[in-house]
Amino acid sequence: MSTRRKIDVLIEEDTLSEEENIYFRKVILYNDSVNEFSHVEMCLMKICFKNKKEAKMIAIEAHNHGKAVCFIGSLEECETVSEKLSNEGLTVSIQI
């Protein structure tokens, strides 16, 4: 039996140009008290294609500010990344 998880889509102001806005979306990673830094970093490297330094900086930003952009891409790419991160237990949303 397949289990589907709901992925939240947030509508927020962003700084992309109107043309970029048509094509690019952002995956937002939220801080939580459940996942360890090492797990978050590993997920960011494996799923978001970040190197160790980038993954650590994103994890620290989410920890310190409550959220951080962890991926930018098309809506389809962001949906795929969000689903994979969510399946790993991370709290994420897509910013349109």
- Helix H or strand E segment including 95: strand 91-95
What's 8-95's CATH class?
alpha beta
3-state secondary structure 33-81: CCCCHHHHHHHHHHHCCCCHHHHHHHHHHHHHHCEEEEEEECHHHHHHH
For the chain of 96 residues, list the mean pLDDT of each consecutive stretch of 10. Answer: 45 54 88 97 98 98 98 96 98 94
Beta bridge partners of 27: 71, 94
Instruction: Give the start-to-end residue ranges of the domains of the chain.
Output: 8-95
pTM here?
A: 0.78
